[in-house]
């Protein structure tokens, strides 16, 4: 199961493309891939910078189930103001680092993108 995540700026926010580069379909939940809970932010020296409080996950984690066939992808969108209310800041780095919750028949664990340099 070769899921990858790519983070890129998009308009007034960011997009994360999750792609299945493997040979088999992959099923996972995006229910906990929300707001600040789905990201790591670091300052110019690489020290973690706290993001705002995480949103409450939905009560039904299966509601966010996605199945990607080999070669398919899905895109998650996040608004800048929700993630970085004080703006990107000079020298900061952001990455997508979200955990897919354990659900029967679905992939679980953390999915990380490469770091994206901000400002």
| pLDDT tens profile 19-56 | 999 999 999 999 889 888 899 999 999 999 988 888 88
Question: What are residue 62's phi and psi, to 5 degrees?
Answer: -75, -15
The more confident residue out of 108 and 84 is 108
pTM exceeds 0.75, yes or no: yes
Fold of 3-101: Immunoglobulin-like (2.60.40)
Beta bridge partners of 112: 97
Q: What pLDDT is recorded for position 54?
A: 80
The whole-angstrom distance between residue 71's C-alpha and the CA centroid of its chain comes to 19
User: CB 97: neighbour CB atoms within 10 A?
Assistant: 18
Q: What is the dihedral of CA 118, 5, 8, 74, to 10 degrees?
A: -150
**Chain mean pLDDT for the chain:** 91
Q: What pLDDT is recorded for position 38?
A: 94
Q: How far apart are CA 30 and CA 42, in angstroms?
A: 23
């Amino acid at each position: 199961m070769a899921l990858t995540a790519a983070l890129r700026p998009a308009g007034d926010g960011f997009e994360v493309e999750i792609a299945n580069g493997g040979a088999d379909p992959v099923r996972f939940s995006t229910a906990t891939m929300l707001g600040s809970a789905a990201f790591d932010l670091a300052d110019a020296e690489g020290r973690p910078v706290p993001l705002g409080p995480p949103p409450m996950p939905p009560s039904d984690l299966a509601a966010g189930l996605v199945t990607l066939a080999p070669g398919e992808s899905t895109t998650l969108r996040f608004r800048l103001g929700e993630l970085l209310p004080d703006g990107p800041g000079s020298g900061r780095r952001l990455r997508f680092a979200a955990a897919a919750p354990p659900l029967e028949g679905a992939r679980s664990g953390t999915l990380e993108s490469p770091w994206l340099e901000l400002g």
